[in-house]
Amino acid sequence: MDKAGGGRMPNFIRRTPEGEDRDRQICSDCGYVAYENPKIIVGSVVVEEGRILLCRRAIEPRHGFWTLPAGYMELGETTEEGARREAWEEARARLELDGILAIYSLAQIGQVQIIYRAHLAEPGIAAGPESLEVRFFTWEDIPWNEIAFPSVHWALKAWAEGSPGVAVNPAEDSRGIAGL
């Protein structure tokens, strides 16, 4: 994270800034308040003829495990643009999006995941620099024991259920919020 700086790492302390109601990370060297907000992950369940696109990770965490094409949304793009960019970067796939499949809050790690339904806008996939390989799997062939993250399981299951509406965290992970 500090590769580019070559200098000191910031010396953060937690303190409540004046006029606020909660602690923030504040650099005790320069006074910078690092507002930490949840980060958005955008990704897609890409389906062609009933088969689902997965990418085997060439990076940590979970190197060698299978995941959906997904990653951090960047400034200056829409959620849809981000989902399509990630599919290109990780699987050289050009997507057409078919609406929102799921929104997951991972409060413990400060993530909100927005997952789209999608299909290929043009033929062809190939491993991008962050993938070891990319493949379409039938449901039965999905390597269930080598899935990178719980939310990949959730999204695949939400897709298979085919319910209308937006899927959210499964009940056992929902922080007890009923009715959603």
Minimal distance, residue 12 CB to a second copy, in Å: 9
The Cα 117–Cα 163 span in angstroms is: 12
Per CB under 8 A, residues contacting a second copy are: 1-11, 15-19, 22, 24, 26-27, 29-34, 36-40, 72-81, 96-100, 103, 105, 107-108, 110, 112, 114, 164-166, 168-169, 174-175, 177, 179-180
Quick one: 137 or 168, whose CB is closer to a second copy? 168
Residues contacting 104, CB < 8 A, separation 6+: 111, 112, 113, 115, 151, 154, 155, 168, 169
| Torsions phi, psi for 7 (to 5 deg) | -115, -150
Please report how close the Cβ of residue 171 comes to a second copy at its closest, in angstroms.
13
Nearer to a second copy, 140 or 161 (CB): 161
Rounded CA-CA distance 141/52 in Å is: 10
How far apart are CB 145 and a second copy at their closest, in Å?
Answer: 28
